[in-house]
Amino acid sequence: MQYMQSERNSNLGKAARVYPGYNKTTARGKKLSMNYHQTLQKVLDYIDQHITDEISAAQLAQQAGYSVYHFSRIFTGVIGISALSYVTWRKLQYGLYDLCQGEKVINVAMKYGFETHAGFTKAFTHWFGFPPSMCRLRLRVGPPAAPDPALLANKFYGGNVMTPHIIELTPFSVVGYPSRHTKPGMHSTADAPTFWNTIQMDYGPILSKLYDTFPDTYPHSKHCEISMCYDVDENTGAFTYLLGRGIDNPADLQNILPDMTRVDITGGLYAIFSTPPAEGSYIQAAQDTWNEAFLHWLPQSEFEFDETRHEFEYHDHRDHGWYFGGKLQIDICIPIRQKEEELRKAQLRGIY
C-alpha cells in the first residue's frame, strides 16, 4: 500500500526520538505508553465533542497539557499523521455518515466548517479516494466509532485490509432489462437485493429470457450475470437497476431484442473483490465487501475511484453454489485509476 507511506516511514524515526521505548510495534497499536494513550484519548474525545467547531493545534495541546511543539511531535509519532490532518479526516468521517443518510453535500460541507462545496469535495476525495456524490448509492455506514489511539495507529501506519485482484479488464457489454425504482434511504448497490425482497421481484423470467437469447455454450459468451445501479437522484432516492447478461463475444450482440438495453463496460483498470463464501445468501457479505473496499482499502491504496466508468457486481457459477460446499460468492468490480502523485512516481521510474 502506498497511501501516506513516506509520512509513515519518517514518523517511525521521529517517534523513536519522542519518548523512550517507542518502536514500530508500538506504532502498529500493539504497545502504547499508558500515559500517552490516556492523554491522546482525552484529545481524541475532545475533537469528537467539538467536531463541528474550528479546532486549532493550540486548543488540542492545551487539552494534552503540552506545548504545541511537543504535543505535535507526540501526536504525529503515535497516531501516524499530524493532529490537524486527523481533525480534517475525522470531520470527513462524520460527513461521510451524514452523506450516507441522504444529506446534501453543500449542507455537510458547511456543517463541518468547509468554506465551499469544492473545498469539501477536494478534501473528501483526497482522504477517501472517491467523491462524496458516491456515498448514497454505494455505501452503508453507521456513525463513526469512538476513537482509540491504538486502532488509529494501526490504521495510519498501515493495518491489514482486504486485498483485491488488480486487473486490466477486457471491454464487454451488458444486455438486460433496466428498471427505475425509488427507495427512500437507498444507500448502496448492495442494498438492491434487499429491496427486491421487499417487492418480491421475480428474477427467473428475466434470466431465462436472457439465456434463451444468449446461450452460454461455446462459442457463445461465457456464463455470467451483471447487476448494477446507476443514475441515482440524491434528492428523491430514485435509481436505475440493470440486471443483465455479460456478453464477451461480439457475435452475440446481433441477437439483442428490441426490449433489451445494452450498456458497454469499457474495460481498463479494475479492483476485483470476492465476497467471503456465504451460506444461503450473499447479501450481507456483499454489503460488507462494498464497505471494506471503499472505506478501508481504497483510502490506503495508491488508487482512487474512476467515476467515468461503471462499477458492478459479477455473478457466475459461484453464485449458484457450484463450489465451496454449496456456499455462494460474487465479485465486486470497482473501476480505479492511480492517484496523480503515484502516477508521477511510476513515470519517474520509467514504468509508463
pLDDT, tens only, 241-277: 888 999 999 999 999 999 999 999 999 999 999 999 9
Confidence category of residue 240, pLDDT binned at 50, 70, 90 = confident
Classify 322 as helix, strand or coil: coil
- pLDDT, the chain, mean: 81
Residue 256: the pLDDT is 94
Displacement of CA 267 from its chain's centroid (Å):
20
Arithmetic mean of pLDDT, 331-348? 82
> Which grid coordinates belong to 27?
506504532
DSSP 221: P
Cβ-count burial of 175 within 10 angstroms (0-12 exposed, 13-18 middle, 19+ buried)?
A: buried
Residue 229: the pLDDT is 83
Residue 351: the pLDDT is 60
Please name which of 126, 162, 123, 152 lies closest in space to residue 8, comparing C-alpha atoms: 152
270 vs 81, higher pLDDT: 270
Please name which of 129, 158, 85 lies closest in space to residue 341, comparing C-alpha atoms: 129
Q: Is the pLDDT assigned to residue 20 strictly greater than 60?
A: no
Angle at 346 between CA 345 and CA 350, to 5 degrees: 115
Residue 38: the pLDDT is 87
Residue 101: the pLDDT is 83
pLDDT more than 70, % of the chain: 78
Residue 200: the pLDDT is 52
Q: Is the pLDDT assigned to residue 64 strictly greater than 70?
A: yes
Residue 263: the pLDDT is 95
Please name which of 172, 152, 166, 309 lies closest in space to residue 253, comparing C-alpha atoms: 172
Characterize 268-293 residue by residue with b for buried, 16 or more Cβ atoms within 10 angstroms of its Cβ, and e for exposed: bbbbebbbebbeeebbebbbbbbbbb
The DSSP bridge pattern shows strands 303-305 and 172-182 to be unpaired
Residue 247: the pLDDT is 94
Q: Is the pLDDT assigned to residue 18 strictly greater than 50?
A: no
The answer to which of 15-19, 87-91, 255-259 has the lowest mean pLDDT is: 15-19
320 vs 26, higher pLDDT: 320
pTM: 0.68
**Neighbour count for residue 130 (Cβ, 10 Å):** 24
Give the domains, in start order, of the chain with CATH numbers: 5-156 (1.10.10.60), 165-343 (3.20.80.10)
